[in-house]
Amino acid sequence: MEFCPKCGAMMFPKDNSFQCKCGYQKEITKDLASQYDVSEKIDPKDTVIFTGDDINTLPTTRAECPKCKNMEAFWWLQQTRRADEAETRFLRCSACKHTWREYD
């Protein structure tokens, strides 16, 4: 896989270059082609999965952002203390991306 140095998204081969959704292009040289299998063509009807900051796969919940008062946030759990203590719940605002934590 080739990743864009500007935005970090995955780049896909098109014509004779790797192209990113942000517009960055990198020419496919013989050395680069030998690292990757660029012979496979992607049909426009095929499903392609993109990843990046603009693609959110975390679950959402109804929670008020302390910064912008938006009422939707992504959440995840992480063990930040000893194993016999409860996990910490992190929330990230879906609008302004402010991140905060809640403890049980």
List all residues 6 or more positions away from 2 whose beta carbon is below 8 Å from its beta carbon: 10, 11, 18, 26, 32, 36
**Which secondary structure element, helix H or strand E, spans residue 35, and what is its range?**
helix 30-35
Q: What is the pLDDT of residue 34?
A: 63
Place of tokens 């934590």: 101
Q: Which residues belong to the active site?
A: 84-85
For 19, the enclosing helix (H) or strand (E) is strand 17-19
| Phi (first) and psi of residue 31, to 5 degrees | -65, -45
**Could you tell me which of 55, 101, 53, 51 has the C-alpha nearest to residue 79?**
101
Q: How far apart are CA 85 and CA 30, in angstroms?
A: 54
Span 60-102: which CATH code?
A: 2.20.25.10
What is the pLDDT at residue 3?
82
Residue 42 pLDDT level (bands cut at 50, 70, 90) = low
- The pLDDT-based confidence of 60 (bands split at 50, 70, 90) is very high
The domain spans of the chain are 1-52, 60-102
